[in-house]
A and B are shown apart, each in its own frame.
Chain A
Amino acid sequence: MLLSLMACRPNPLERDDKTSGFPRAETFYLGGRQWGEPSTFNPLGPSVWPISTMNLLYETLLLYNSLDGTMQPLLAESYAVHDDSIEVTLNPAARWNDGKPVSAWDVTFTFGLGQKYKSLNIAPIWQYLLSVRAYDQDGHEAPRPTSDDAYPRRVVFALNPAKKNPLVVLDALQAQLILPRHALEPLFAERGNDLDEFKKLKFEHDTVSSGPYRLFSSSSEKVAVVRDDGYWGNQALHGGKKPAPKYIVHPLYKSNDAFSVALRQGRLDISTTFVPRIWLKADKGVRSWFDRQPYFLSSSIPMLLVNHKRVPLMDVHLRRAMAFAIDYKDIRELSVSGYSEPLRPGIILPFGLERRFFSEEDAQKYGTWFDPERAKAELRAGGYEPAFGPNGELLETRDRDGKKLPTLYIKSPTGWTDWESIVRVVVRSLRAAGIDVRERFVDTSLFWNALYEADFDLIMHTPSTQPSPSKPWSRFEALLTTRDFAPPGQRMYKNIGRFNDPHAPGYLPRIDELLALIPTLTDDDALVSAYHELNALFMQEQPDLPLVYRPDTFYEFSIKHWSNLPSSKNPYLPPLIPGDRLGTNMLWSITPVTAASN
């Protein structure tokens, strides 16, 4: 029987194209965005799964380029930030796939959903907005849809003066997929405008959308979309070109390793999974953004959140001692395969677009780095006395009152191997410095509850990971804001460590002031100095312990079947896979590797 199965092995020469439903030369395989079969393609769906394909079906107004900080046009041809509003003008060529134009009413409808249904992802933006209104070309407000011949193309997002923050609105403009009002409104009406009922629609067939692809098939093994040759943007945005791949397929493998193997074998063209020691796969045609260390373009900072409501962690000396005690180089080399630039003090990235906000002088003056001697000095300054055994092992640490410090535990989800490895390095470093810390790996489902309810001493977390127009402000906000401050036991989704309690002595109002100020600043010098001040405050207080840099999404690709993918040597787009924001645009630039040159 086995022999007969061997016979099923395709001839290597015909393995790819023969009898295949998706011809290899016309199919682009991507991986790592999707870990299970999508349960629905409802754009408001309850499931968070079908992200990988959504951006190919629906489109945002703008696309953010994290390499140069610009906003690229998509449904919107232009935008302007005014003092009290942001104005967006839609591309006159933009069409839904049923031929109807994409109008300002589609935009007001989409954002209006967030005003109506508080559980939608678009809802939080409304605390920063007064209104979203449609205007026609003459500047008259056009609140009611009339006909398709005369439709408004201008949308004005009026900023809430009480919480003025154009940054988060820009974030939303490049993140929110615009939905077809004419198709969805009747569906809502039929269901009595009940969101729960609407979410039960699966949108698997004949969906009205505006993007370059349509859903082709979906199963527990793969999701596939097929090119829509009538896509409006081919003419309007891409000079008449069509995207090169006819099909885009996301196989649903079950482990990181499977994606790595598929990438190495050329079965996958691009992936956002973690591939350890990627340099070993170079001879198999696997590439990443850089072809040397750090291989990837980092945009986020995994860190240890500190619970400021627990003794002795509210003591800044102890926190700074920890920050001086951790061997960041070991973390970088051992835990993340070297995929990180050397860590610098503060939470502004010292490279890329954020570099202009980074102050070398402040870093030297206020910052922390691996320096065991300074860790000891900080411990002494706080009155802590560690006692070591004959072999250098930590016995106990006493505070200035002679009281023994409790063992502190670092929580991290079990099975997240890179984080487990980071935590082990941290524990080793801290114990060597005389701080009694141990690892505690917990089940993932328990981890999240512990995180948001602040049931931890120290916990692994990466705040606000996505590169967006609001960086690095949103990273500061995610860690430091005191808005909606709640005691441990209740949930907080930002400032999870309960730093800077506004009702407690020692409250630093300047931090909240700067967080409110920065989004409103238009003068560049003022902006730079505000960021310097905020980052210096972070370094001095060290409310949390940044550990390493990491990309928001990994980006590695195979050169076996497609060429001209963006990389640091050919950086025409940021490192994002198609279907993920601006990454989609590479589909018009890549070309199949022909059989002859293979």
Chain B
Amino acid sequence: MLDNHPTLSHVVGRAGWYLVTFLVAISINFFLPRLGDANPVDTIMAKVTDGLDAASAKAKEEAYLREFNLVEVDDAGKVKRDARGKPVRTSLGRQFINYLGMSVRGDLGSSILQHPKRVTAIIKAALPWTLALQLPTIVFGWLIGNGLGALAAYKRGVFDKLMYPLALLASAIPAFCFGMLLVYVFGIRLEWFPAVGGYDDGLTPELSIAFLRSASYYYVLPFLSVFLIVVGGQAIGMRSMCIYELGTDYVKYAKLLGIEESKILLYMFRNAMLPQLTGLALALGTMVGGALIAEMIFSYPGLGMAVLTAIQGNDYPLISGCTLLVTVSVLCANFSVDVLVGFLDPRIRAARQRSK
């Protein structure tokens, strides 16, 4: 039946592959953090054992292990121990089944290090900040970067000579270096902008003029630290794509036909944009992972730091929750691009028509 609807069959085919990718990804997300020797309870225990004697420390450790379902418990509610006296850890298989069951129900569990806080609550609090920082930087950075790149390729001359090295510089500076430079110059030396935080310490997040004003003011440096790098990278990519397109037959032909310059530019842009579009989708997909470096340098609220501390402390449920979010958004973004490109790119359309 699908044979008569090539686009639909394309979409369904892709969807199938994405489903498989999704299953593999969440399995990896689940198993990878649990493969090591480390155990989240060790991290917690380290902070609370000063002054404890062996018996209390053992009781405390067991209480944590039980609470987080990391060990086998016998019928009397006692932690099972092996011959060496070590607690028997719940098998990974059983943990995985629990995890799948909970995930299907939309329950991401509660964090270990921030127990009893729900993983969903942590994500919900951090995600708006991450999106507010990442979405505009990526979208505007992509648009402006590509615009500049195309322009530079087409105009050449002084504009290109100036723009290209600057873009190269911007894209080559490590993000942490650039962020620290911004903090030092504008935050500490000149004191034009605040060096740390997401809004004034004296405020609480709310929909008020004062808060939005403060949040915008605090937004400038973190935004710039990511934005300029995105612009630089995109501009370089677009510039070389466009230079390639400029040399192609259809552009030469169009020029010979005397077609308007702006029209040629538009054709060229459409073709050069396709690989850039995939890049955009990937960036949008991974953005929910947070701008870790900007968050760390500016102490900016967001998911990146949550993920980092979760990984450092082996906070399995929080790691799984965050990676699930990243997985889903990367796959969704890629899927949309796949579908979109299918519509936008005449070559792909044509290829499908031919292969029928």
Residues of A that sit less than 8 Å from B by CB: 1-2, 5-6, 8-10, 16, 18-24, 27, 29, 36-37, 39-40, 46-49, 118-121, 123-124, 127, 171, 195-196, 199-200, 202, 217, 219-222, 249, 251, 253-255, 258, 261-262, 264-265, 267, 443-446, 448-449, 451-452, 464-466, 474, 483-484, 486, 489-494
Contact = CB atoms under 8 A, between A and B. Distances in A.
Interface in B51-80: 51-60, 62-64, 66-67
Contact of A123 (B37, B56, B62): B56
B214 interface: yes
B193 interface: yes
A448 B46 contact: yes
Contacts of B37: 446, 449
B97 interface: no
A119 B56 contact: yes
A284 to B, nearest CB: 10
Interface string B22-61: 0000000000000011111011111111111111111110
Between A10, A220, A483, the greatest number of chain B beta carbons within 10 A of the residue's beta carbon is seen for A220
Interface string B188-224: 1001111111111111110001100110110110011
Interface stretch (B114-122, B151-159, B246-254, B325-333): B114-122
A196 B63 contact: yes
Contacts of A47: 113-115
Between B60, B199, B219, B299, the greatest number of chain A beta carbons within 10 A of the residue's beta carbon is seen for B299
A493 B220 contact: no
Interface in B290-311: 295-299, 301, 305, 309
Contacts of A484: 53-55
A261 B197 CA distance: 11
B66 to A, nearest CB: 8
Contact of A27 (B55, B199, B202): B202
B54 to A, nearest CB: 4
Interface residues of B, number: 80
B330 to A, nearest CB: 24
B94 interface: no
B84 interface: yes
Contacts, number: 197
List the 9 shortest-distance A-B pairs measured between CB atoms, nearest first. A20-B202, A445-B38, A118-B59, A19-B210, A484-B54, A119-B63, A39-B114, A8-B217, A258-B299
B54 A446 contact: no
A124 B217 contact: no
B16 interface: no
Given A5-B220, A445-B314, A449-B39, A491 B54 contact: yes
A316 B72 CA distance: 43
Contact of B50 (A36, A49, A267, A465): A465
Contact of A49 (B114, B122, B313): B114
A36 B114 contact: yes
Nearest to B68: A46
Given A8-B217, A40-B116, A200-B116, 12 more contacts: A8-B214, A10-B214, A19-B209, A21-B204, A39-B116, A196-B66, A221-B199, A254-B296, A255-B297, A267-B201, A445-B314, A449-B42
29 contacts: A1-B140, A5-B217, A19-B203, A19-B209, A20-B200, A21-B202, A36-B114, A40-B115, A40-B116, A47-B114, A121-B51, A123-B56, A124-B52, A124-B53, A202-B116, A220-B126, A249-B201, A254-B299, A254-B305, A258-B195, A444-B313, A445-B38, A445-B43, A445-B312, A451-B46, A466-B50, A492-B54, A493-B49, A493-B53
Interface string B166-199: 0000000000000000010001100111111111
B55 to A, nearest CB: 7
Contact of B45 (A121, A171, A448, A474): A448
Contacts of A222: 201
Interface of A, secondary structure class, is loop
A459 to B, nearest CB: 13
A137 B213 CA distance: 60
B192 A9 contact: yes
Interface of B, secondary structure class, is helix
A265 B191 contact: yes
A127 B197 CA distance: 46
A464 B51 contact: yes
Contacts of B116: 39-40, 46, 199-200, 202
B51 to A, nearest CB: 7
Contacts of B220: 2, 5-6
Contacts of A217: 204
B106 interface: no
A172 to B, nearest CB: 9
Contact of B312 (A444, A486, A494): A444
A251 B197 contact: yes
Nearest to A222: B201
Contact of A119 (B59, B111, B214): B59
A405 B193 CA distance: 57
B125 interface: yes
B210 A449 contact: no
Given A39-B117, A449-B39, A220 B217 contact: no
Contacts of A46: 63-64, 67, 115-116
B85 interface: yes
Contact of B39 (A2, A9, A195, A445): A445
B309 A36 contact: yes
A555 B6 CA distance: 70
Contacts of A119: 56, 59-60, 62-63
Contacts of B60: 118-120
Between A20, A124, A254, A464, the greatest number of chain B beta carbons within 10 A of the residue's beta carbon is seen for A254
A135 B79 CA distance: 39
B279 to A, nearest CB: 23
Contacts of A8: 213-214, 216-217
A83 to B, nearest CB: 24
B192 A490 contact: no
Contact of B195 (A121, A195, A261, A489): A261
Contacts of A36: 113-114, 309
A269 B216 CA distance: 25
A101 to B, nearest CB: 30
Contact of A265 (B115, B195, B305): B195
Contact of B183 (A9, A261, A444): A261
Contact of A493 (B57, B196, B209): B57
A302 to B, nearest CB: 14
Nearest to B217: A8
Nearest to B57: A493
B182 to A, nearest CB: 12
A445 B40 contact: yes
A261 B57 contact: no
